[in-house]
Amino acid sequence: MSRPLYQVADVLERNEESLSAYTGNTWQLRTLHALRKCRTAALGGHIDRCDNGQCRQLQLSYNSCRNRHCPQCQGHKREAWIRARGSELLNVPYFHVVFTLPDTLNQLCLHAPKTVYTILFGTAWGVLRDFGADPKFLGADMGMVAILHTWGQNLSLHPHLHCIVPGGGITANGKWKYARNKGKYLFPVKAMSKVFRARFVESLRKEFDRPRSFYDKLFAKDWVVYAKRPFASPQYVVEYLGRYTHKIAISNHRITSLADGRVSFTAKDYRKGGAVQLLGLSDAEFIRRFGLHILPKGFVRIRHYGILSSSRKKMVLPLLMAEMGRCTPEEKPPPILHRRCPRCKEGTLVTVFMFDGRGPPEHWMVKLENQNRNTPNKTA
């Protein structure tokens, strides 16, 4: 994959001294420093050698931070996750349901992210589960995969939950029952929104001691639940999931300039049909906003519920697949291209030496320097 022109890590690096002033807590600060050091000498690395006897090219690589908030460290994890979910696809229509929190809750989200986001997951699942269990709407046991996003396109706080929901469920006699219209219609969103709001606020009241006016204000607005029609085919669900699951607040490819101590990046304006606009922020504001989306340590942001939960799917999925047929997406071979030698493009890179933050020993550096002097530096 080509290195993007500009990176979040570049912004962090040039503000190394000020990061603590731009972030809310030490966990965020630690994360920002990890991202700043990603794929630099500070994290150590390894030397690979091409196994093609004609080539024997040496290549130096620095380790990546593997932090889940890092724009440089998403690709491999995403591929593995998508492959696993692809093997679990049911041959039924899937819906995309999004639960969004009103911005009146932003301060609370920043103050107690773990509690508020946990309530968001629990409430969303409760609403879907109970609408599903209601014979008026479906009368079956449902499942969902939910993914927490906390950002809007301009990087400000905008917490919402993407839920991928099979359009139906299992009835008491163990058979699949489609949602209305052969699974093409889920539940009325207006009704879902009202129940979502009522239950969410009820849970907040139990957790936080706030004045009554605070809760009243939450009822002054309609809360948005959005349900998109089924995906064209279950195969498409996996591709779609991939786009959402391992997404982070901003990808490096969106950054268009880092000139003059400012960060310019593209953003889609969904009120204008997704038109692309260019936004500019000072470094300080960019880092502050990026930090808002660093989740509490260990907080799980992708969760599986109901018949798709890890405890139930092992039992349920094989039965459903036997009943309705399998739906296996086209098998893509795992990407191994990053081990291909960039010079001869035939050999495979084999790691011959690993080193820590102090760097490789002198004699390896000499070997690398000699090689680079003798071969004009053509990077693939």
Binding site for Zn ion (CB under 5 A): 38, 50, 52, 55, 57, 64-65, 70, 72-73, 149, 341, 343-344, 347
Shortest Å, Cβ 306 to Zn ion: 22
Q: Which residue, 35 or 327, is less far from Zn ion as judged by CB? A: 35
CB of 318 to Zn ion, least distance (A): 32
| Alpha carbon distances (Å) from 348 to 1, 45, 59, 342, 356 | 17, 18, 11, 9, 23
CA angle 244, 1, 257 (to 5 degrees): 80
From residue 180, alpha-carbon distances to 137, 194, 316, 361 in Å are 8, 21, 22, 67
How far apart are the C-alpha atoms of 51 and 35, rounded to whole Å? 32
Length of the chain equals 380
Nearer Cβ to Zn ion (203/252)? 252
C-alpha angle 109-23-10 in degrees, rounded to nearest 5? 120
Q: Output the smallest distance, CB 376 to Zn ion, in A.
A: 15
Least Å distance between CB 235 and Zn ion? 21
The values of phi and psi at residue 302, to 5°, are -125, 120
b/e code 86-98 from CB counts within 10 Å (16+ = b): beebbbbbbbbbb
CB 133 to Zn ion: min, Å: 27
Nearer to Zn ion, 240 or 364 (CB): 240
User: 353-356 — which CB contacts under 8 Å span 24+ positions?
Assistant: 353/46, 353/47, 354/44, 354/45, 354/46, 354/47, 355/44, 355/45, 355/46, 355/47, 356/44
Cβ count near 127 (within 10 Å): 25
Residue 147 or residue 316: which is nearer to Zn ion going by CB? 147
Which CB sits closer to Zn ion, 32 or 128? Answer: 32
Q: Yes or no: say if 30 and 295 are a contact pair by the CB < 8 Å rule.
A: no
CA end-to-end span of the chain: 10
Least Å from the CB of residue 223 to Zn ion? 16
Distance of alpha carbon 123 from the chain centroid: 20
Q: How far is the CB of 149 from Zn ion (least distance, A)?
A: 4
Q: How far is the CB of 190 from Zn ion (least distance, A)?
A: 22
Q: Select 226 or 236, whichever has its Cβ closest to Zn ion.
A: 226
Residue number, 70 or 248, with CB nearest to Zn ion: 70
Smaller CB separation from Zn ion, 160 or 288? 160
Question: How far is Cα 48 from Cα 176, in angstroms, rounded to an integer?
Answer: 52
Question: Of the two residues 134 and 239, which places its CB atom closer to Zn ion in the complex?
Answer: 239
Q: Provide, rounded to whole angstroms, the least separation between the CB of residue 137 and Zn ion.
A: 26
Quick one: 31 or 140, whose CB is closer to Zn ion?
A: 31
Number of H helices, E strands in the chain: 13, 13
Least separation in angstroms between residue 21's CB and Zn ion is 23
Contact 350, 51 (CB under 8 A): yes
* H or E element, residue 96: strand 94-100
What is the rounded CA–CA span in Å between residue 86 and residue 82? 6
